[in-house]
Structure 1
């Protein structure tokens, strides 16, 4: 009897594997990648999904099948932030199947990444919204967008994608992302849940989501920096106590009445003290100059918060994302690592995106990944200079509350050396949800070492820090990231 059962199971698995080979669109299969000399550890696909055929509005994706068991492993959507930054950032610099190394004599650019998230999951890297990366529309009006439209368009993409890859419809599905994806992820999750209630087909087997160093709430995020700088030993006890006193412990007011002149002065002193540091990881050197910090928002003119609709967003190349801003503000995409950059347009410091930019603009690479030619849609930028983006959804706290109370699992993780979206803000808002603590603050382990700290709450909410990591956690701590990612997807204790 046992052998009969084993034979039946083997037959089912073989059938599933055959289905994967048969069902996935052959035209999307990637057969080679310039810079890589070897055999892919799993199948890769890329191409466009039309989310509005009439307008020729298309989102581009890169899909990596799991290296373990694609037929049953979770499908995970990855979204980088910005707003307006390509998710190929995650592919190239964080947790993709390859490590990109500067080309040396007689060597190749791409090498297999032992800590790729495709070791344990199928993963979709999506360029969203339209106008980002290789995604495009024939109607330039589509490059003016907002949180609500982005969530709706990405949900449409998912429905169409699962029709193209029907063999994955029964797999557990998770949404993940970092930085401004702290907005993208919960708003998209809410759309997916709404689709469930409306019995939208195909039904997406949504189980939960992960957010790394994510923008969440204007006030919580805005108040996070001063405690972070003090806790990290970046400002003196005296300056911290003086700032705390004159600001009454509140360093950002959400654009209501502002702060006092005395408070603004102390905040500027804090800003001046830390502004030579790498915003995205205070342990790392800063390569491209410096930037003022987020604290400057309190004493800069509010009139600088918006761009006029006729003003083209700045064509600057940058890598990171980050801080929330007042509801309704029109944003220069990709320029949100600090309020001062948002308002004054300084560009993003300390970051080098040369490898991704050169590789993805190589005509042979674009052809290999089924992306439009440069003459058709322009050059690939890590963060788009084509968008006008409006933040229109406000705080994400109620989104998280609704999702977790509905039974969906949530992991909020933070690199503890990120000064862009400090862990202090994420720790504060997860605690403010008011859920019962079911797993008290403790270290979590990776490779027999303390990798960070975690606290678990009722209703499937977990907060996690990663020791020594910056804004883009898997970039700095790849082994540890694969560990917590694997455990979360499997429903195991981290």
Structure 2
């Protein structure tokens, strides 16, 4: 009864928009053309089309979400549509700043992270003024739709300042659904296309919550509005209890903390509660401040990007320096290049961005959104159980060098979904090397990506690409 009431309320709230579809279709080519990107500053030649702009999701409050569509490199009309959502916490905020205490949270830009350093077609040069091609861009296999969500993240905005003080899971999912409905009316060629959602980190909340909204919305209509097939999510925030147990266990099993502090935290902390005792908090802070050392907790085996002058947490030998060493092609300072590039007036003009003239620089991560988050589901396990009944393709993957939302956390959570094994645990391969390990269940597929941190496609682009191709094809990862 409650489920039906929610569906009916959602359907009625969006009915006004459906009634204007006929009128909207007549102007669609013009609307699309207004959003077309002719070329980005410093961009190499490409054969695919790009569009970006705003979709208003709430007229009363003036909330509008910014998107960037990069169509497939070949036969885009035959390729699926993939919506990418980011949720990763600020990397600079995470170095020795109590990740276990804070866990991962929302506020990241899909333009800065997903599009510009993970799965998008372009990478930004260190000058922050030009682009080069990403050999393993996922738009080789799909049309990619990057969404900056919620309002207040990246170029997305609200005209109601109080919206920035009370963001949360529920509103984010509702706004994302409205965005999709209205975006599809602007791009009707995608309305019946195979549709998937992908993302990482706090998108472990965003994605299943939006998936549930889409399933409910489709059920409320005589003909489904979305040809929704499933989702894939990496290093996802899954369950508050298992996530935090997994973090402290990962620290200990990777020799990052002492036996004493490991046992102290387990004894003093009750992670089944949202708020912890001062003793528990003190143990966590001690572990991360005095035992972990200067390490990037998103990728524990790579060198962090040091850019802050006289920063108190940087060791004395590293203060007053700017380090961005590359390890196997990985540059830890890529986020900084994005903040240079997307603040260029000519870039914003080309992308039809910042139309309201925000009074601050565009930033890759909004700490205000994260710090003011009002509602966050304690566990996503009940939502996954609901979605299993919707016959969706669901994949979960984990980079195994991430200590913020580690593979241990995800495995603990999955173990409590009572999954039925279809294909037993085995190593999967890329270029005759083990790319990771995987187990296939009747309800979902789980895979690890060897040598990857929190942003899997950033650290292991080819392995991530193979993972994505297998997901789209609905095939198991290569056995050899």
TM-score by length of 2: 0.78
Maintained 8 Å contact 2:252/2:262 = no
Question: How far is the alpha carbon of 1:414 from its aligned partner?
Answer: 0.8
Q: Which residue of 2 aligns with 1:164?
A: 186
* 1:128 corresponds to 2:114: no
Q: Using a 3 Å threshold, how does the CA distance of structure 1 residues 159 and 232 change in structure 2: closer, same or farther? A: same
Residue 366 of structure 2 is aligned with which of 378, 384, 389? 384
Looking at structure 2, the residues matched to 437 and 132 of structure 1 have their Cα atoms a distance apart, in angstroms, of: 39
Structure 2 stretches lacking a partner, 5+ long = 1-27, 90-105, 315-331
Q: Using a 3 Å threshold, how does the CA distance of structure 1 residues 374 and 164 change in structure 2: closer, same or farther? A: closer
Looking at structure 2, the residues matched to 263 and 355 of structure 1 have their Cα atoms a distance apart, in angstroms, of: 35
Q: Which residue of 1 aligns with 2:416?
A: 432
Looking at structure 1, the residues matched to 53 and 144 of structure 2 have their Cα atoms a distance apart, in angstroms, of: 14
SS in 2 for 1:137: coil
Question: How far is the alpha carbon of 1:405 from its aligned partner?
Answer: 2.9
* 1:37 corresponds to 2:21: no
Indicate the RMSD between aligned Cα atoms, in angstroms: 2.8
TM-score by length of 1: 0.76
Q: Which residue of 1 aligns with 2:233?
A: 211
Q: Which residue of 2 aligns with 1:493?
A: 476
Residue 93 of structure 1 is aligned with which of 109, 117, 133? 117
Q: Using a 3 Å threshold, how does the CA distance of structure 1 residues 437 and 24 change in structure 2: closer, same or farther? A: farther
Question: How far is the alpha carbon of 1:271 from its aligned partner?
Answer: 6.2
Maintained 8 Å contact 2:123/2:134 = yes
Which runs of structure 2 are paired with 1:240-319 in the superposition (5 Å)? Answer: 240=259, 252-255=270-273, 268-269=286-287, 272-288=290-306
Structure 1 stretches lacking a partner, 5+ long = 1-20, 293-349
CA deviations 1:398-447 (Å, max 9, x no partner) are 11111123211211111100011111000111122111111211111112
Q: Which residue of 1 aligns with 2:378?
A: 394
* 1:152 corresponds to 2:158: no
Q: Which residue of 2 aligns with 1:367?
A: 349
Residue 408 of structure 1 is aligned with which of 388, 392, 410? 392
Structure number with greater CO (CA < 8 Å, separation at least 6) is 2
Residue 57 of structure 1 is aligned with which of 52, 63, 68? 63
Q: Which residue of 2 aligns with 1:67?
A: 73
Moved more, 92-101 or 480-489: 92-101
Question: How far is the alpha carbon of 1:253 from its aligned partner?
Answer: 2.1
Q: Which residue of 2 aligns with 1:229?
A: 251
Residue 102 of structure 1 is aligned with which of 126, 129, 135? 126
Count of equivalent residues = 408
Moved more, 408-417 or 52-61: 52-61
Question: How far is the alpha carbon of 1:265 from its aligned partner?
Answer: 5.0
Q: Using a 3 Å threshold, how does the CA distance of structure 1 residues 467 and 138 change in structure 2: closer, same or farther? A: same
Looking at structure 2, the residues matched to 59 and 352 of structure 1 have their Cα atoms a distance apart, in angstroms, of: 24
Maintained 8 Å contact 1:222/1:251 = no
Moved more, 130-139 or 200-209: 200-209
CA deviations 1:349-396 (Å, max 9, x no partner) are x86622111110101000101112573464211112553322332211
Q: Using a 3 Å threshold, how does the CA distance of structure 1 residues 271 and 227 change in structure 2: closer, same or farther? A: farther
Q: Which residue of 2 aligns with 1:185?
A: 207
Question: How far is the alpha carbon of 1:68 from its aligned partner?
Answer: 2.9
